[in-house]
Amino acid sequence: MTKRALCIGINDYPGTDSDLSGCVNDCNDWAAVLATRGFAVAQLIDRQATKANMVAAIGDLVDKAVAGDRIVLTYSGHGTWVPDADGDEPDGRDEALCPWDIGQGKALLDDELRELFSKRARGVRLLMISDSCHSGSVTKGDAADLDPGLPRARFLPPEAWLKGIALPAETPRKLLGGMSRTTGDLLMAGCLDTQYSWDTRFHNRPNGAFTFYALKTLARLEPEATYRDWFKKITPAYLPTNQLPQNPQLFGSAAARKWPVFA
């Protein structure tokens, strides 16, 4: 069995006036933890994470995996959406990740991710961890680690990078829309599709809120803990909070949720 991971972190979004601060730290943090758990880790950071490079690296991660292998993709950066072109989205939108060159109109669509993931061999376990997306409501929670001051949303409005395209009106959406259907086995996401994931600072160090609490709880898990166990430690104990109104999500089959974490 081979264990491989690709960690992507993008703070720098040239041409958008929408830079972030915690995504590279997220990427490095996930990479370090995965390496200690036996994964061979590749990383794409800022200008390395163009759409072409992301597609190539994800394709390589999937194509080289054989039955019994474990592969993990982590992404920290902006999320966005584009008008749905093929009619498969009830809300008229395709969710997307924002590569470094999103300012050139190069979004990585959920349809494209689904196509990449569909090429994996039978018997390959795939986990995607996405710390990005949309906006939501306010509830209580534990914010003791959070530094004072307002966080920044990891959502890039289409009008910030799509020019001259008619955009559909805001409509209610299902959880993570098409993004939840791209993963194959498991998706751990920072929020509902109607919410933002927040880019903020803990103990004077920038991080994504979901990444910070996911890693904090991971460090305390029992050795045989499952993904379901891990998820229950993150929410509602740490997220959402009044300052970080995001509800983490875990998508996948009942069997996949019971897999031991990163085993």
Question: 114, 65 in Cβ contact below 8 A?
Answer: no
pTM of the predicted model, to two decimals? 0.86
- The residues annotated as belonging to the active site are 78, 133
Residue 206, preceding peptide bond in cis (omega within 30° of 0): no
Question: 35, 71 in Cβ contact below 8 A?
Answer: no
Query: What burial letters (b/e) apply to 2-36, b meaning 16+ CB within 10 Å?
Result: ebbbbbbbbbebeeeebebbbbbbbbebbbebbee
Phi-psi region of 150 (alpha: psi -120 to 50; beta: other; left: phi over 0): beta
Q: What is the pLDDT along the chain (263 residues), one digit of tens a residue?
A: 999 999 999 999 998 989 999 999 999 999 999 999 999 999 999 999 999 999 999 999 999 999 999 999 999 999 888 776 655 444 556 788 999 999 998 999 888 998 999 999 999 999 999 998 632 222 234 556 655 555 767 787 776 777 655 545 544 333 333 344 444 589 999 998 778 899 999 999 999 999 999 999 999 999 999 999 999 999 999 999 988 999 999 998 999 999 999 99
Give how far Cα 188 sits from Cα of 88, 185, 242, Å: 23, 10, 22
For 180, which DSSP code?
G
Which pLDDT belongs to residue 135? 25
Which pLDDT belongs to residue 45? 98
Which pLDDT belongs to residue 1? 95
Which token pair is 57?
A: 């690296």
Which pLDDT belongs to residue 78? 93
- Concatenated DSSP letters for 35-68? HHTT-EEEEEEGGG--HHHHHHHHHHHHHT--TT
Which token pair is 83?
A: 């008008």
Which token pair is 133?
A: 């997306």
> What does the domain layout of the chain look like in residue ranges?
3-257
| DSSP-derived 3-state class of residue 178 | helix
What's the CATH class of domain 3-257? alpha beta
**Helix count (H) and strand count (E) of the chain?**
6, 12
Q: Which stretches of 77-154 are DSSP H helices?
A: 110-117
